[in-house]
Each structure stands twice: as C-alpha cells, then as structure tokens.
Structure 1
Amino acid sequence: MDLPCLDWVHHVEEKWAELSSEEKERFNLLTDIENLFNHGLLITCSDDVKSLSTISKTYSVQKCNVKASEFRLRGNLFFKLKDYGSAALHYSKGVCHADNCTEELSLCFANRSAALFYHGHYKACLEDIQRSLEAGYPNKLQEKLKTRRAACLAELKKHECSKTLNSDLQTNNRNLVNLHGVSVYFCPNKGRHVLATENKSAGEVLLQDEAFCSVLIPSKKTNIETSETDETFGTEDQHCHHCLRQSLSFVPCPKCSYARYCGERCRTDAWGLWHQWECTVGADLLATGVLGHLALRVALKAGEKEIQNLKKRNRTYSSLENDALVQLNLGDNCRNDPEHSNCFHGSSYQAIHSLLPHIAQHSPASRFLQVVTIAVLFRKLQGGPTPWASSKDEGVWQPEMSLLGATALRHLMQLRCNSQAVTALKVREERGSAVQSSSEIRIATAIFPVLSLLNHSCSPNTSLSFSTGFQSEPLNQSDAREGQTEHAKASHGAVMVTVRAAKDLPAGQEILHCYGTILYDRLSRDRMEVKQRQFHLQEQYFFSCSCQACRKDLAEGSPDAKEKMAAELKCVKCGKPLQVCSEGYVCSWSSCGHRIESPGVEIKLQALQRLLDQAVRLLEREKLDDALTILKSALSQSSCILTDTHPLRGQLADCMARVHATRERKREREDTRFVEDLLLCDLKTGEWSLAASHLKCSLIPIQAQFGEDSIELGRQLFKLTQLYFNGQDCVQALAVMPRARQLLSLHCDPHCEELMELEEMEHCLQALL
C-alpha cells in the first residue's frame, strides 16, 4: 500500500474541493518546499487530525492479550498438524500482541520454542525459552522448558562443528565484492547517470548499493477487522521490520503490536534511528501509506544537523560546463573541492537529498494530498517525543523542528520517481509437493543513493537482485578504481541491491534498468505497447521515454495487444493461426476463413483461467485426483484454441507438473519401504517422468514471454532439474543443469539458494554415475 488508504484520500479530496478557485490558485503558485509545508500547517486543523485518528483505528497497533491468546491457540492447531513454520508465525503474532511481562507473553514464547525445536532452529529455541522464563512462565510448567533446553543443547553440540564451518564459509564468500568499472557522470540533458568505464560481460556485477531506508509493504489485510480470522501471513508477519530478513522467531516492539524484529540488535538500531518517534503514530503511518512512512523515516534518520548543513550549502551542478560530460569526483577526491560542486557522495544522505522533488510536475491535487498528509502527520507527531537527539530543549517542540516536516515532504515528492521496490522470491509450499509454485513479490519500498541515478530503458541492460539482513556493505566508489577488487565491510541491517549486466556491455555504455511492472500487461505479463509505456512513464516519472526499444517500436510499428493475442490463438476448425479483423479474429488460411468475435475469445480464455484456479485450490487441499481431472480437461481445451507459446498453456503445464509430483511424494510417504531404503528399493518414476514432461512444455511459453536469457526461464529450468533429480534420471538432470546454472548466475547472487542446491544435486548425481 504505497499510497494512502482510500478513506484518507477521500478526506483530502473533499478538502481540496472546498477550496475556492483563488485559494487553489495561491496553492498552485507555491514552488518552495518549506513554503508548501508551512501552508499545509495553516490549512490543516484539529478536525483533520481527528479524521486521520478515526481512519487509523482500522489499523490499530495496540497490544491486546485477548488477541495474543487467539493467535497462540491458532498456533496450537498448526502445531498439532506438524506445520511448525505456520505455528511459529502464529505464536510470533501472539508475542507481538501480548502485553509486556505477562503470563500470556510467556506462554507465546514457550509455545514458539517448541515449534522452533521441531523445526530444527535450536539456537532460536533456547532464546525463546529464556524469554519465556523472564516474562514469568508459570513455575509448575517450567520443568518441560528445562527438558527442551537440555535437548537443544545436545543438538547444538552435535552439529557445532559443521555449522561453524558453513557459517565461516558463507561469511568469507559474501564479503568479496567487485565494484570496479563503473562511475557517475553528469551532463545537462541527462543529469547524473552511470556509465561503464570498461568492458563488462553478461552476469558481471556492476555495482552494489545499500538502501538509505526501507519500509515493509504491509498486506492489504493489516487491520483489526481481518487480523483475527485471516489465516495467511503478510510480509509484515514474516520479515524483520528493520533489515527485512525473513524469520520465524521475532522479538516485538515493547510498545506496539506491529513492529517486530529478527533480533535484539535490529530492534535497538530501529528504535534509535526512527521507531521511537514512529511508534506513537504507527496506525496513522499504515493509513497514510508506505511512501509517506518512508519519507518520514528518511528525514528522521538523516538528523537535524545533516539537514541544516545541506540546506546552507544548497549544492547544485549548475556550475559545471553547459555542454560537457563530466565524471564526478568520488569519496576522498571531494575533499579537494570545498564547494563539492563536482562530487557525488554515494554513501551519504547528501546523495538522497540532492535527488529532484519535481514539485512543478506533480498535479495540483497530488501535491495537495502530499502536503496535507505530511502536515497532519507532523501534528500527530507533536503528541509524542521530540525528534533528533540534538534538540536543545528535550521534550519541547521548537519552531525550527518544522524542518522535519518540510524535509519529509521533500522526500515524499522525490519518492514518486525514486522509490525502488525490493523484491523476494515467494515460494508457495503445497504439502508434499516437489514442484513449488514461486513468484517474485514486492516486500518493501526503499530508496537507494546510487540506484536512483540509473536511467530507464524499456529493454534494460541490467538485472537487479536484493539481499537482506547481515550483508556486505558496498564499497565506497572512491575505492572502486580501475583494476581493483576490494573486500567490503560488514554492515548490520543492510538492505542491498546488486546490479548485474544482463548482456555484454562495452566501455562507455550507459547502465540502464527498467522502472517497474507498470510497463507490463497484468494478465499476459508481456511488455505493453509503446504508446502505453510512454503514457505510464510520463504520468509517474515525468519524462517521455525515447529509449532504444521505444524508438525501434515507433519506427517499425509495434503490434498492439490484440495483434499479440492473435499470434497465440489457433483456429478451432483447422488449427491455423488467427489474424486480427474488424469483427475480432479470422483464420489466416484463406480456404478456411473461420471467424470468431473478440467476446467469444475472451469467454473461452476466462473459462480456462477458472479451471486453472479451481485446480490450484484442489491441489492446495491435496485433492489430487480431482485436480488432475480438471487439468486434463483444461489442457485438452487449450490445445484447440491456444498455441504452445500462450502463457496460459505454460501455467496449466506447470500446475499439472505439480500435481504429478505431489502424487509421487504422497505415495512415497505412504510407502514405508521407500523411506527405509531409498536406494535399494525398486523405484518407480512414472509420476516424476510425467511431471517433468509437463514442466518441460511450460518452457516454451516462458521463453516466449520473458526471453531466452530471463530469470523466469532459469527458475523453471531449476525446477525441471529438481524433478529429474527426484526421479533419479541422472542423464536428463545433468543435461538441464548447465543452462539453469548459466541463467541463474546471470541474474542472482552466487550464493543464492537455487545455485547452492544445483551444486549439491550435481555432486550427488555424479556420485551415482
């Protein structure tokens, strides 16, 4: 929820509509950030504060032992089903909602320790046992905690050597960062941008950047009306609210039920940087949206002193030559320039502050929404502790503290063009399934100092991957000189982005990336037609795209959505491809000439989609035979009207593979002989073979959709390798593995889970040959 909730938007729209034409005109003439914010304070009042308070009640972050007990009892149900991961997450929700130092809190910690123990998280289990005792766990029940603690210590001692070795290996590998070969440049027509200073090969790391701030994107169901009954977990339930690391054992904010952290260190860091001020207005921040929250967080982290210094300096690049391409000095070289007019401070707040807010480009109504939102949030903050430790009179809001509101407003306007979605691979786990349904989802919105300088292309030459938690800190660009490879410094709580070359790049090539999923059709996930892309880019980012892909499409005349659809449709009578006609579609074979109206095509596609959705629901409930019957019917129907490249054919094939793999897994669970001696039994791989053959069919539409070098194709090949491996088809698994590794290496971290698993499978298969 990047934007404010609809109720708040409607409130501000009504306020805008009530303004006279003269008042709107006066507002439109304001172009200075501080003047805009001060005007916002003038036009907002206690009624606006009350309205936001009323709206934010839907997003309550108050602790409540009754809710904590409900989450604990729900966790008990999942524990009985041996779904220890879901049980732990329910217990974590109980931990966050429970009041401090209460028996309910101790019970939630104790129950979570049991789930973590059976999940194999022994260190986290020990920590929860200690927390439970400190919270006042009943004396009469403490004996079972002591027994669990002894079992944990025994398991940890058993695995101590191997775990230490693995941890050391991971730490050493992750600290190797190569950032040489790129630099920041400035020219008047492009502003600041990034160029390769040497030839780069596809898959090579171009730069790493650490987010200055990030904010988790809460689920749409983060409110009191659904939190009591909803069985799903949002990003806010599964990720640390500071470093974004995924976890099962969170420590809660001591004052609110929303914020949770993967450990004490993240909780302490977040409290010192921003949460001590955010906590009192947590519900209001959920109501006013992620971008407003992120804007405030950036201002709080920057601090009064840094903002005042930048305000006095008011640095621009206007002193540079009008028609020259200038390489900006970085790091230590900037000390030689007292004005800093030709410097770029990529690792400091200055890099964020210098991004353009594009005040004039925001529509008056949008600008008004931003101004009123920040002004009312500022008024709400005044009911809590004073920001910034440097304030002279602690506890008293001085007039100069309005700088916080003005700075937050500046960042909110910047974020329209400079926010970056942080994505993660979400795997939907069906019980017993060997083929997982995975998709890339947005888990947070962040702002990155260097990534924000990359210009857009509808056909980018880079790919992005994100890492969270305790990661490597990016090198200062001053250390990334020609021919150098340095070790990065460790940075706790860092949210990192790694930018890799998606294709070979010659020296002097600009580094470009795509600005987002708004440029792709929601249903087909194909790239939008050029005019649509340009419209969306102009609307959100305030520029008319003239990238190479757009110029090519405009010159050659790119096909519209209907023409693209026709290329993936077949005539139901003769099987030949369809063509667009005035009434809808017509068979391309003149001897046939069969026609079908557009609504008829849409009805058939919608029917197939409903069958797929129904099969997925049955698969999730392990009603495999019913799911298989529906999928066979859907595949038969789709083969009559869709070509092999249609995305729906790929989705049906993928689902069919998951059903066959789940059937095989279920059979294995029921066959005790299989469990007792996997290698000596007469293994039947019929279901594995069927699953692999269907998944192989899905490769064609995925390659057609996303390209032969796409991460989507790489992940599908990885899944195919898993199927061959599970079916002990060594030859096929080893044949697919190199291409899967090549594509994953092109886009992902060398130590990502998929690549590590490929390596393990390869060692195992080679041992069998």
Structure 2
Amino acid sequence: MGAFHILVEVDDVFKCASTLTTQDDLDFLESICDGGSAQKDTERAAKCREKGNLSFKSRDYTAAALHYSQGVCSAPLRSEQLPLCYANRSAALYHLQLHQECLNDIDRAVKNGYPSHLLHKLEERRTQCLTHVSGGQKEKDDRHGSASKNHKGPGSEICPQAAVGFSPEKGRHLVAEQGIAAGEVILTDRPYSCVLIPGMEEVQGGRGGLETEGGGFGTEHRRCHRCLSETLCPLPCDGCSYSRYCSTGCQRDAWEEHHHWECPLGADLMVMGVMSQLALRATLKAGLKNIQTAREPIRGKHTKSEPDSRSTTLVRRLSETGPPPASWTLGGPPAAPEEDGGNADWSKELWLMGSAVLRHMLQLRCNAQAIVSLQDAGATNSLVQSRREIRIATAIFPTLSLLNHSCCPNTSLAFSTGAAVDPSGSDLSADVSESVSEPRVTVTVRAARVIDAGQEILHCYGPHSSRMVTRKRQHLLQEQYYFLCQCEACSRTQEEGGTEGRQQPSGGGGARLEAGLLCFKCKGSLKRSGADRTGFMCSQSSCSHRVSSSEVSLVLQEIRVDLEKAVELMERERPDEARRTLCRGELADALARAYATVGDWNNAASHLERSAVAIGSQYGDDSIELGQQLFKLAQLHFNGGARGPALSLIPEVRRLLRLHSGPRCPELQELQDMEDCLRG
C-alpha cells in the first residue's frame, strides 16, 4: 500500500490498484455480496405473492400491489409464479381504481401462461375495467398530450439575467448580470445520470402490511430505476430481481444505456455503493470518444487521489459480462501504459474505462447532488398529515454543479420526478415514454430573495446557517468538500467575535412572529433588537435581558431532538404519550399534531401558531420552512371552521410557497380549494 502515497495521477493510481487486485479479492467481494440476492428466485416470488394475498384480504391494496410487484420482479421468465403475480396484482390495481394498469397486467398474465381454467376470472375483470376506461378515455388522452409536451424540454436552461463567470479561486460559477427578482426561475437542469438510493424507506404506508424479509418497502420498490417516477406496477428486468421500470420505454432505454452491463453485477454494485454505480453509469454513457477528449486538458495536472480498488473490481467484473458497449469500441484508442504485471487480457478500452470510473468516484464526493422528495409522513388514514424530506437518488447535474456553496444561500431548489398523475392515480407516462431518452427528473433553482447585478448565485451544499453553528458547518464542509467556508454567514460570525447572527430577509410577518418568543430569564415576550435586528431583548423594562440569535438557534436545535421523539410517538398512533412528552418539552408543533389527531382543531391551531413563531425566528420570515408550517396552520383553521383566520393566512402561505416552489406547487391548489370553499 505504500506505493499509493507517491502517486499523484489518477491513471497511475488505477494502474497500481490493478496490479494489486487478485482473484482472492474478487472471491471475497463475491462472498460478501450474497451473489444470489439479485437473481430470480421462484420460491421468493411465491412468498411475496402469499404476503400480497394477506394484505389483499385485509383490504390494504397498496401493500398488496407492492408485494405482488416484488413477486413479479423475483419470478423467473416462464415460471408459474410470474403470471400468477401479474394476475393478482391486476386485482389490487382494480380496487385502487387504476383500471388501465389493471388491463395491462391482465394482458401480461395471459401472455406469460396464466392457467386456462382460471382465465374466466381475468376476463370478468377485463370487462369491468373496460367499462371504466372507455368512459374517461378522451379526458385521459387530453392529459396525456399535455404530459408529452412537458417531457420534451431542453436539458438545461439559464435565465437571461444570469451568466457563467470564471475566476482562478472559484473556477466556473454563476453570476447575476442583471437584477433577479425573488421567486424568479434562474436555472432548470436535468441530470446527466442518476442512481436510485436503495433502502430509503417511504415514510407513508399501510399498517403492518408493508414488511418484507428486509424490512419496509423503500424507494427502490416504489420508483422507476430510470426516471424515478412513482409506480405501483413496475415492469421487471428480465435478468435480475432488483431493477424495475415504469414503462417499456424506460426499461428499453436503461438496458441500452447501462443496465445490459450492470445486470450481471447487481449484487456487486449494491455492496460498492451508489457513488460507484453513478461513476460507472456516467462513464458508460460518455463513451470512449468523449472520455478521450476529456482526458486531453487534464494530462499533466495533479489530482488528489486515494487508493480505491472498487473501480478496478468493477472493470474486472465488467470484462466478464461480455463485450463493451458500442460507444466503447471505436477503433484506434490511445495505447494504455505498460501493464507492469497486470492482467494481459485487459483491452485498451477497459483500461481507459476503469481509469475514468476511478476519476469520477473521486470527483463525485464533491460534485454529486442528492435528489430529494417531500413525502407524507405517518399512517395513510391519520387525521393529521405532515411532510418529510427524503433523499431518493444521487445525480450529476451539469449546470447545477456550477453553483458554489453558501451557508445562507440566495436560492431555493425544487425537484420534480417522473410524470404527472391523474386524479385516479394513473401514471401519465405510459404513452410518452417511448420518446424519452433522458431521465424525467428536473431541478428548478429559484431566487430566494432579490439578487443584485454582479452578485454570485449560490446554493447550500447541506450545512445551513439556520440549522447549524459556524464551527460545525465549516468542519463538515472542510471534511467533504476540502474548503474552508468564508461565506457571508461564516464571515459575519467571525467579525462579531464568534456570535451567530442571521441575515433577516425582507418580507412581512416579522412583528407577528416576535410575539411568541419568551425571555429565558423572566418569561416575558422578546422583541428584536440592534441595528440589524439579529438579536432579541426582553420587552419587560424590569428585565431587559438580551439574547443573541445564536442562543435562540441552539435552544431550537435542542428542542428539535425532543420533537423527533414526540413525532415518532405520533406516527405510532400514541397521541397521549406524545402530549405528555410535549408538555414537558414545550414542543408546540408536535403538540399541535397530538391535539389535531383527536379533532381538537382550536387547541391544535393555538399550539401551531407558537411553533410558527419559532420556525420563523430560526429559518427566517421568507423561508420555505415557515411556508410549510403556515400551510399546516391554514389547514387547521379550515378544519376547525375558523373562516377569518384561515382567509387572512392563505395569502402569506401562497406567497411563500410560490417563492420557493413555483406556481405549480401542489399545495397551492389545495389552498385555492380551501379559499373557494370558505368564500362560498
């Protein structure tokens, strides 16, 4: 291993790693991969079907469909379990009113050899579905046409007010050439490549019915492995039990682009991790010609490299799966360096591929972007719903990667995945997928506040000034991204001698929010103080205790730890215990949920107003966090019949949601429906 310490070129690191990798290393990798985990298995398919039957009998049709889908993916071609799983899934889809999807599964069951003596059941179900489908076909066709237009957008777009700048210190970055208004779209971008994160549990599901041998169903069970759209009836890969797709279009495109070579490596890739798989996909997609072109400007430049045998192992295993992709078989590639004892049977193409994969693996630590989605939390039948942000995939966004980090960014990011869903729950992607050549994932970057001409456009890599103190933020950024953050928030803290301050965004609601903060000393109300209004002072003249924003922030962070415990109790439907916990910890948000669970809307709204005060003080009056909290408060006012408070709150909620999520935010339609109802 000592040889690695004197190597500075990625090519040399890969070459050295290849000489050190032995057959014993490959055998060990195979032993820890549980090589059969991604293989088809008739017995496992039968067990999944049995679990689906149990969920079906308890009328948990969503869980049943997911279990049957797992059976479809596990069943080998031409096995008796495959048509049975398709047929059973069609029954669950029928009860979920997904009639077209039900018809598709009936056809698949028949095509794959469904027993003839049971066909009459499928034909009866087909007749019932056709009645429903024919009635709404015209309306659905119109929506399909609209969805198709949405899918054919360009790869990335930058607004006219922004441009790419360059400096030796920052490299390429995005700058505002003209003033950009708050809420304006700055950038839309699509990923060059993305990989679904396995094992990230969906936070909403039925009770009890969603358990598998490996735990709850995760994103890999409920989303297309190419476009990331949600689906209850995925199409399986014919070769492995892991990968699944929302349509034949995604299935075909994934196979041609990367899955033909990933399929035999399924278990290996799961062990090596998402970054290794993303590096391999990007390399396969780029092709030999593009890799050769990209290598020209970096020759002779030193790259910080650490030993990593995963790229070597991947290429060794890839060479066993068959010939390389067509894009990697161009004639006359540059000669590879001398093998120095390496495997003589490696082709020049595979050597270049392995070196490129290693380079990507080293760079993705700093350049990959998590794709996040808001999911409903708690049981589906709960009277109170809240939303939680989860990571569903990791991607390379070519243009988004131009944005540098700030702990107090001037932008907001919103992700959209897959196609729109019609009111019955049907995925509108089925008819348009044939023409899709890129993952249907989009990130939209909006200005979170006014950005003046000449200012750099920045977003947050994770550590945010409203959630974490400066020292911890700088430590995490140094550890992962190798730079010492000197952004506005970090520099301001240093100038103030280490006290945490927060820039107050412009916007309404500041006076209202101050009223709920209590003095740590006498419990009187706090008001903002100082020229920049970043601190607080007790309003009682007999006290006049002063509190910095950092103290308030730290207390709120401590409260959030207790809050998570109370929320867990709520999601396990134990509101009484949650209320007792919250009363001890004065955790207003979860206490509001506890009251709302039993239908006490007025008490719930009262406590949520207190929570909104804390949220606004920590994250800012123009923050998306405050918008989401006020959205819940509007729902409580509506449910409790408080017409005046609801109508007065809706415009502010609408402003905040539009600012960060744009005019197509689904919550905006709910706000409009509430307002229409309240106004009669």
Q: TM-score range by the shorter chain?
A: 0.7 to 0.9
Alignment partner, residue 688 of structure 1: 601
Match of 1:427 in 2: 376
CA-based RMSD: 3.4
**Mapping of 1:611-650 within 5 angstroms?**
612=566, 615-619=569-573, 627-639=574-586, 649-650=587-588
Candidates 606, 613, 617, aligned match of 1:704: 617
Q: Is this contact kept in 1: 2:412–2:448, CA < 8 A? A: yes
Counterpart among 539, 551, 573 of residue 479 in structure 2: 539
- Is residue 423–residue 440 contact of structure 1 (8 Å, CA) maintained in 2? yes
Which secondary structure state, in structure 1, belongs to the residue aligned with residue 407 of structure 2?
coil
Question: Which amino acid counterpart does residue 590 of structure 2 have in structure 1?
Answer: L
Q: 1:93: Cα distance to partner?
A: 1.1
What CA distance in whole angstroms lies between the structure 2 residues aligned with 1:417 and 1:493? Answer: 22
Choose from 232, 244, 247 the match for 1:263.
Answer: 247
Identity of aligned residues (%): 42
Pairing of 1:541-580 with structure 2 (within 5 A): 541-559=481-499, 575=523
Cα separation, 2, equivalents of 1:298 and 1:77: 42
User: 1:82 aligns to what?
Assistant: 59
Q: Read off the aligned partner of 2:351 and give its amino acid letter.
A: S
Instruction: Quote how far apart the aligned CAs of 1:211 are.
Output: 0.5
Q: Is the 8 A contact 2:162 2:174 kept in 1?
A: yes
Do the aligned partners of 2:163 and 2:175 also contact (CA within 8 Å) in 1?
yes
Equivalence for 1:10: none
**Mapped partners of 2:476, 2:618: distance in 1:** 21
Q: Hey, what's the Cα distance between the residues in 2 that align with 1:541 and 1:236?
A: 28
Q: Which residue in 2 is equivalent to 1:624?
A: none
Give the number of equivalent residue pairs: 606
Matches within 5 A, 1:459-478: 459-470=408-419
Against the structure 1 CA distance between its residues 162 and 420, is the aligned structure 2 distance closer, same or farther, given a 3 Å change threshold?
same
Q: How does 1:230-379 map to 2 (within 5 A)?
A: 230-311=214-295, 313-314=296-297, 359-360=303-304, 367-368=306-307, 370=308, 372-379=309-316
Query: Matched residues in 2 for 1:727 and 1:143: separation?
Result: 50
Change (3 A) 1:611 1:302: closer
User: How far apart in 1 are the matches of 2:253 and 2:173?
Assistant: 32
Q: Distance in 2 between matches of 1:268 and 1:235?
A: 21
The question of whether the paired residues in 1 share the 8 Å contact of 2:82 and 2:109 is answered with yes
The counterpart of 1:73, out of the listed 50, 54, 63, is: 50
Moved over 6 A (4+): 173-178, 567-571, 587-592, 604-607
Per the TM alignment, residue 393 of structure 1 is displaced from its structure 2 partner at its CA by 10
Indicate if the aligned counterparts of 2:658 and 2:665 stay in contact, CA closer than 8 A: no
* One-letter identity of the residue aligned with 1:659: T
- CA offset at residue 90 of structure 1? 1.4
User: Displacement, 1:658?
Assistant: 4.4
For 2:241 and 2:150, the matched residues in 1 are separated by: 37
Q: How many angstroms apart in 2 are the aligned matches of 1:437 and 1:59? A: 39
On the 8 A contact 2:173/2:402 being kept in 1, the answer is yes
Provide the rounded CA distance (Å) in 1 between the counterparts of 2:630 and 2:517.
23
Distance in 2, matches of 1:220 and 1:45, equals 34
Q: Residues 176-195 of structure 1: matches in 2 within 5 Å?
A: 179-195=159-175
The answer for the alignment partner of 1:152 in structure 2 is 129
* 1:195–1:508 Cα contact (<8 Å) kept: yes
* Aligned partner letter, 1:535: H
Kindly provide the CA deviation profile for residues 629-665 of structure 1, in whole angstroms up to 9, marking residues without a partner as x.
32332333234xxxxxxxxx1442243144234xxxx
What's the CA shift for 1:77?
2.0
Whole-Å separation in 2 of the counterparts to 1:237 and 1:721: 34
For the residue of structure 2 that corresponds to 1:183, the secondary structure is: strand
Q: Distance in 2 between matches of 1:607 and 1:426?
A: 20
Q: Say if 1:229 and 1:654 are closer, same or farther in 2 by CA, change over 3 A.
A: farther
Q: 1:67 Cα shift?
A: 1.4
Q: Partner amino acid for 1:697?
A: R
Q: Distance in 2 between matches of 1:301 and 1:95?
A: 29
Quick check: 1:688–1:727 contact (8 Å CA) kept in 2? yes
Task: State the alpha-carbon separation in 1 of the partners of residues 287 and 565 from structure 2.
Answer: 55
What is the alpha-carbon distance in structure 1 between the residues aligned to residue 118 and residue 162 of structure 2? 61
Give the alignment partner of residue 516 of structure 1, picking from 458, 462, 467: 462
Matched residues in 2 for 1:235 and 1:216: separation?
8
Contact 1:470 1:492 in 2 (8 A): no
Q: Distance in 1 between matches of 2:668 and 2:146?
A: 15
Aligned to 1:739: 652
Please, what TM-score do these two structures have when normalized by structure 1? 0.72
Change (3 A) 1:40 1:717: same
Secondary structure, counterpart of 1:440 in structure 2: strand
1:186-225 equivalences under 5 Å are: 186-219=166-199
CA separation of 1:75/1:725 partners in 2, compared to 1, >3 Å: closer, same or farther? farther
User: Which position in structure 2 is the counterpart of 1:385?
Assistant: 322
* 2:462 counterpart letter in structure 1: G
Q: For the Cα contact (< 8 Å) 1:435–1:719, is it kept in 2?
A: no
The Cα shift of 1:247 comes to: 1.1
Q: Which runs of 5+ in 1 are unaligned?
A: 1-18, 319-355, 472-488, 521-525, 562-566, 579-586, 593-600, 620-626, 640-648, 662-686
Task: Find the residue that maps to 2:216 and give its secondary structure.
Answer: coil
2: CA distance, partners of 1:386 / 1:133: 35
Separation (CA, whole Å) in 1 of partners of 2:565 and 2:476: 33
Give, as a single letter, the amino acid of the residue that structure 2 aligns with 1:34.
D
**2:412 touches 2:660 (CA, 8 Å); kept in 1?**
yes
Question: Which secondary structure state, in structure 1, belongs to the residue aligned with residue 238 of structure 2?
Answer: coil
Q: Name the SS of the counterpart of 2:165 in structure 1.
A: strand
SS of equivalent residue, structure 2 residue 179: coil
Does structure 1 conserve the Cα–Cα contact (< 8 Å) formed by 2:201 and 2:216? no
1:324 match:
none
Distance 1:280 1:703 in 2: 51
Change (3 A) 1:82 1:631: same
Quick check: 1:725 aligned with 2:627?
no
Shift of 1:228: 4.4
- Equivalent residue letter for 2:637: Y
Task: Give the aligned partner of residue 503 of structure 1.
Answer: 449
Name the stretch that deviates more: 287-296 or 299-308. 299-308
CA contact (8 A) 2:517 2:613 kept: no
Return 698-707 or 181-190, whichever deviates more.
698-707
Tell me by how many angstroms 1:230 deviates: 4.4
* Residues 453/387 of structure 1: CA separation in 2 closer, same or farther (3 Å cut): same
CA distance in 2, matches of 1:590, 1:152: 72
CA distance in 2, matches of 1:535, 1:391: 41
Structure 2: stretches of 5+ with no match in the other structure: 203-209, 332-344, 421-434, 502-515, 527-537, 546-554
Q: Deviations over 1:723-747 (max 9, x none)?
A: 3334444433322221121111111
- C-alpha change, 1:504 and 1:126, in structure 2 (3 Å) is same
1:63 offset after TM fit, Å? 1.3
User: Offset at 1:275?
Assistant: 0.6
Give, as a single letter, the amino acid of the residue that structure 1 aligns with 2:217. Answer: F
Which among 116, 123, 128 is matched to residue 139 of structure 1? 116
- Three-state SS of the structure 2 residue aligned to 1:698 is helix
Which is further off, 85-94 or 247-256? 85-94
How much has 1:161 moved relative to structure 2?
3.5
> Quick check: 1:109 aligned with 2:58?
no
One-letter code aligned to 1:722: Q
